[in-house]
């Protein structure tokens, strides 16, 4: 279901006017050409899903045709998002070949290794492990790359002594996936099958779709760190406390995602020894809650325009940067008002 939601999100991404289509060479025909014509009425949900699946299959094949490691890795992700019955066997047989070719051709490409390590199936565990190891070899000081190495609690903490930052490269990856999708617009037949006549905004839709695909990535290592740094696990071991404090510092001060910051603050809360230290952690967590609570509705206003506009700025590297700028642009304060508490969701 989560994969299908990501695929359906492409509905916003596939904007191409008939005028632009007429000015460019026609792309390969869609597998839906025979089933959906200009005379077809507004499609139902099942037909729309089939259209997206076929579109993803076509784009995956086009990406794989470039032969680059990154394109092949992304193609294997896209084709596994599209599994209509008439293409299932083909999709299953191509994806492993593309992933293996991507591993062989990735070279010094961190993102290609991330795509492989995050989305290769469990049955290809060795390929996932190789991709994760090669990522770490390219960024030996990156705690995030280290967390993908399937280490035990003490092994991870010991190895993390050499880490100096935690960087998932999330927005770099999302920007690239957005650009890749925009290079492969839908045919006129596909637009009709998607529900022709509705407005499509390519930059916004491709960005939201790329973000949805990225959000579905596995993020290993967090449970291991939490298990290693819980009070009952640390015991009376100053070295373990120092290791956990080092990891918490990287996640709160040298990271690129709010998830890292939240986990780092949880560890710092456990390590706090004085009321002042606990109050500082509580204040920082309250500020993070405020940032997330206030930015969430803003990011989806006008079809996601605020998020997409800021995403297009390559100087914005971290999730925290983008969300803070979103609040500033909307005239919202970065600090919660006195006494504010995160609302409890109503069931």
* Over residues 263-292, mean pLDDT: 95
Q: Is residue 10 over pLDDT 70?
A: no
Tell me: pLDDT of 12 over 70.
Answer: no
69, pLDDT greater than 80? yes
Q: Which two tokens stand for residue 1?
A: 């279901």
In contact, 54 and 28? CB cutoff 8 Å:
no
DSSP letter for each residue of 228-263: HHSHHHH-S-HHHHHHHHHHHHHHHHSBSSHHHHHH
- pTM (global) more than 0.85: no
Determine the number of helices (DSSP H) and then strands (DSSP E) in the chain: 19, 0
Tokens of 339: 């006494």
Residues 163 and 141: beta-carbon distance below 8 Å? yes
Name the most confidently modeled range: 45-54, 149-158, 224-233. 149-158
Residue 142 pairs in a beta bridge with 165
HSE-up of 214 (CA within 13 Å, CB side)? 20
- pLDDT score, position 239: 85
- 31, 62 Cβ separation under 8 angstroms: no
- Of 20-29, 153-162, 235-244, least confident by mean pLDDT is 20-29
Tokens 């956990």 identify what position?
A: 244
Q: Give me the pLDDT at residue 217, please.
A: 87
Average pLDDT, the chain: 82
What is the pLDDT, as a whole number, of residue 31?
Answer: 35
Q: Give dist(CA 309, CA 146) in Å, integer.
A: 32
Taking only the tens place, the pLDDT of each residue in 322-347 is 999 999 999 999 999 998 998 887 76
Domain boundaries, the chain: 2-27+45-215, 222-329
Which residues have C-beta within 8 Å of that of residue 212, sequence separation ≥ 6?
Answer: 5, 6, 9
pLDDT score recorded for residue 191: 72
Position of tokens 């009070």? Answer: 231
The model's pLDDT over 110-138, given as tens digits with 9 standing for 90+, comes to: 999 999 999 888 889 999 999 999 999 99
Residue range 226-249: average pLDDT? 87
């Amino acid at each position: 279901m989560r994969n299908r939601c990501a695929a359906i999100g492409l509905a916003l991404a596939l904007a191409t006017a008939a005028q632009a289509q007429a000015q460019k060479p026609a792309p390969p025909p869609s597998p839906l050409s025979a089933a959906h014509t200009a005379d077809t009425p507004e499609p139902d949900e099942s037909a729309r899903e089939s259209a997206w699946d076929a579109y993803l299959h076509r784009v995956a094949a086009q990406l794989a045709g470039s032969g680059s490691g990154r394109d092949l890795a992304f193609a294997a992700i896209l084709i596994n998002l599209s599994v209509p019955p008439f293409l299932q066997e083909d999709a299953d047989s191509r994806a492993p070949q593309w992933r293996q070719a991507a591993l062989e051709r990735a070279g010094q490409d961190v993102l290609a290794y991330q795509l492989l390590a995050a989305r290769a199936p469990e049955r290809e565990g060795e390929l996932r492990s190789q991709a994760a190891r090669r990522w770490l070899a390219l960024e030996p000081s990156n705690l995030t790359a280290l967390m993908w190495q399937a280490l035990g609690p003490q092994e991870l903490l010991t190895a993390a002594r050499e880490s100096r930052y935690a960087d998932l490269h999330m927005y770099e990856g999302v920007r690239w996936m957005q650009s890749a999708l925009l290079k492969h617009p839908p045919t006129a037949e596909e637009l009709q099958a998607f529900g022709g006549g509705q407005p499509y905004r390519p930059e916004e839709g491709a960005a939201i779709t790329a973000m949805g695909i990225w959000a579905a990535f596995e993020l290993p290592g967090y449970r291991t760190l939490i298990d290693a740094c819980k009070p009952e696990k640390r015991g009376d071991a100053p070295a373990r406390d120092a290791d956990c404090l080092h990891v918490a510092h990287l996640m709160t001060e040298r990271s690129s995602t709010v998830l890292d910051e939240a986990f780092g603050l949880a560890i710092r809360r456990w390590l706090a020894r004085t009321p002042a230290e606990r109050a500082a952690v509580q204040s920082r967590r309250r500020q993070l809650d405020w940032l997330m609570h206030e930015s969430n509705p803003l990011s989806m206003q006008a079809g996601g325009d605020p998020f997409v506009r800021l995403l297009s700025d390559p100087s914005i590297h971290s999730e925290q940067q983008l969300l803070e700028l979103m609040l500033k642009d909307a005239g919202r304060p970065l600090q919660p008002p006195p006494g504010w508490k995160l609302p409890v969701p109503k069931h």
